[in-house]
Each structure stands twice: as structure tokens, then as C-alpha cells.
């Protein structure tokens, strides 16, 4: 089974955001694999363990993103591809066009990705790519079983569970609860050093039309700082009565 995984390297979720000249500073930032993509990588490795085949992890990013690929390889992926995006403005339209060009030359049975990235959070690239490749998609999945050319998939729909049947090839996006991603083992880390990473430039790719961004960011800013709140005092019962009254008369939310 040929398994492709879409991965993005993101800020660690513990990081604070710092603006420098209106853009987000990467100084001293710890980077991780987007947590939702980590579920996708884990699921891909589990699929290979069950059905044999090969797991290829694909990313678009600057050089630092290779660290995330190495981690994925150390978890157990077989090979990796990075498309260099240094100094190029990309949006979701561009990313999907680039990935289409990378993937249409390859054989695959299933493509996995996270349902959203914890940085820009648009969740567009998976469904866009499925459309470009003209294959079905199942998003926010929490369980995946493949039997021959069919998959039975459970997905999270606003808290409810939907069970879906679909034929391969298919693109799926991972939701929390799909699995528990493994930590790379020491032998895994050693092996990863010898696994191949294919490095591509956007100019090398055969992109249909072009991948120029359709959207642009005009400003990045912080939410307004809230004034310090009020900690209530006194007997707990009195505090509760006061809180209910405040929510009704002052905050007007009850």
C-alpha cells in the first residue's frame, strides 16, 4: 500500500506569539510537527504495519522543516519530500497546487493529513488537494479500517460520530482521538538518519496554471488586552449570589 502523509511544521502550542515589524517572529521559537499531522503520521505507520507498503511524508516549508521530517522518519515513516518555500508567499491555493504537482506523479492508495494546522488554522489544503486530484475525502476522522479497496471510517461531526464507507484512493484528515502518536525510539532516530529526503524547488515542479497566492495578509495584530477581572470575596454562598447578579445586571449574559 502506498501511503502519503501531508505534514506541516508549526510553532509549539506552548509558544507565545511575538510581533516584530508587523510579522510574527520566529526567534527562539520551538517548532513541532503540527499535532493533527502527528495523528496522520501515526495512522499511516499503523496502516503500513497492517497492510505492508511504504509511508512517504510530504511537506512544504523552509529548511527548518526538515527537522520535523526527520522526526516523522524516526517515528517510522520510510521517506520524505520537502518542497522549499523559503521567501515565497504562499496561501492555501498555492499549497494545494504545489502538492498536486508533487503527488500526481506518484502512486498512492491513501493520503492522510491533519484536519487543521494549529498555526493558521484554515484546514483548507486537504480538501483542496482532494479536489485537485479528483478523489473523495473524509475529514476529521477518528477511526480508519481498510479492507481491500474499501475503507470504513468514523468521523467526528461537531461531537457526533458518523460512519462512512468510501473506496480507495481517498484523502482523509485526522481528528484528535484517532490514535496515540508514538515517540521516536532511539533505534528509530538512528535509522532515520539514513532514510532519504527528496528536496524539491517550486520551479522544478510541473504546476498546472500557476500557484500564485489568491489571498494576502494586510495586517497581523493582537487582541485587545482585557482589564483585570474581579475576584469575589466573602462566604462562598454570598460569592455565588453576587456572581449570578453580576452576570445578569453588569455583564448581561444571563
For 201, residues 6+ apart whose C-beta sits below 8 A from its C-beta are 83, 84
* Interactions with other proteins, residue window 19-78 (CB under 8 A): 19, 24, 35-36
In the complex, the smallest distance separating the C-beta of residue 44 from other proteins, rounded to whole angstroms, is 19
* Interactions with other proteins, residue window 167-196 (CB under 8 A): 167, 175-177
**Contact code string over 200-239 relative to other proteins, x by CB under 8 A:** ---------x--xxxxxxxxxxxx--x-xxxxx---xx-x
Q: Which is nearer to other proteins, 122 or 185 (CB)?
A: 122
Considering only residues 28, 121, 148, 187, which one is a binding residue for other proteins as defined by CB under 8 A?
121
In the complex, the smallest distance separating the C-beta of residue 79 from other proteins, rounded to whole angstroms, is 26
Q: Which is nearer to other proteins, 78 or 242 (CB)?
A: 242
Nearest to 60 by CA among 101, 14, 106: 101
Nearest to 37 by CA among 62, 66, 4: 4
Q: Which is nearer to other proteins, 65 or 96 (CB)?
A: 96
Biggest CA–CA distance in the chain, Å, is 71
**Are 117 and 8 spatial neighbours (Cβ–Cβ below 8 Å)?**
yes
**Are 39 and 176 spatial neighbours (Cβ–Cβ below 8 Å)?**
yes
In the complex, the smallest distance separating the C-beta of residue 195 from other proteins, rounded to whole angstroms, is 27
**Are 215 and 178 spatial neighbours (Cβ–Cβ below 8 Å)?**
no
How far apart, in whole angstroms, are the C-alpha atoms of residue 28 and residue 47?
Answer: 36
Considering only residues 61, 76, 113, 126, which one is a binding residue for other proteins as defined by CB under 8 A?
126
Nearest to 166 by CA among 141, 142, 136, 144: 136
Q: Which is nearer to other proteins, 80 or 130 (CB)?
A: 130
Element (H, E) at 97: helix 92-103
Q: Judged by CB under 8 A, does residue 17 bind other proteins?
A: yes
Q: Alpha carbon of 162 to those of 143, 154, 167: distances in Å?
A: 10, 6, 16
In the complex, the smallest distance separating the C-beta of residue 121 from other proteins, rounded to whole angstroms, is 6
Q: Judged by CB under 8 A, does residue 119 bind other proteins?
A: yes
Q: Judged by CB under 8 A, does residue 159 bind other proteins?
A: yes
Amino acid at each position: 500500500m502506498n501511503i502519503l502523509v501531508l505534514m506541516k511544521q508549526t510553532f509549539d502550542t506552548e509558544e507565545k506569539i511575538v510581533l516584530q515589524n508587523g510579522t510574527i517572529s520566529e526567534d527562539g521559537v520551538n517548532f513541532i510537527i503540527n499535532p493533527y499531522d502527528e495523528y496522520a503520521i501515526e495512522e499511516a505507520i499503523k496502516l503500513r504495519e497492517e497492510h505492508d507498503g511504504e509511508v512517504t511524508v510530504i511537506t512544504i516549508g523552509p529548511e527548518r522543516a526538515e527537522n520535523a521530517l526527520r522526526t516523522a522518519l524516526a517515528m517510522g515513516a520510510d521517506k520524505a519530500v520537502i518542497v522549499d518555500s523559503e521567501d515565497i508567499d504562499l496561501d492555501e491555493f498555492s499549497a494545494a497546487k504545489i502538492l498536486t504537482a508533487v503527488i500526481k506523479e506518484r502512486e498512492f492508495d491513501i493520503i492522510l493529513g491533519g484536519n487543521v494546522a494549529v498555526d493558521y488554522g484554515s484546514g483548507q489544503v486537504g480538501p483542496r488537494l482532494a479536489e485537485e486530484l479528483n478523489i473523495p475525502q473524509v475529514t476529521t476522522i477518528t477511526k480508519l479500517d481498510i479492507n481491500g479497496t474499501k475503507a470504513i471510517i468514523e468521523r467526528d461531526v461537531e461531537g457526533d460520530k458518523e460512519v462512512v464507507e468510501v473506496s480507495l484512493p481517498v484523502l482523509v484528515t485526522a481528528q484528535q482521538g484517532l490514535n496515540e502518536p508514538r515517540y521516536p525510539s532511539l533505534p528509530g532516530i538512528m535509522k532515520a538518519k539514513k532514510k532519504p529526503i527528496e528536496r524539491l524547488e517550486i520551479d522544478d515542479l510541473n504546476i498546472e496554471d500557476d500557484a500564485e497566492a489568491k489571498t494576502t495578509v494586510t495586517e497581523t495584530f493582537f487582541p485587545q488586552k482585557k482589564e483585570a477581572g474581579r475576584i469575589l470575596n466573602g462566604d462562598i454562598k454570598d460569592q455565588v449570589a453576587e456572581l449570578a447578579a453580576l452576570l445578569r445586571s453588569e455583564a448581561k449574559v444571563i
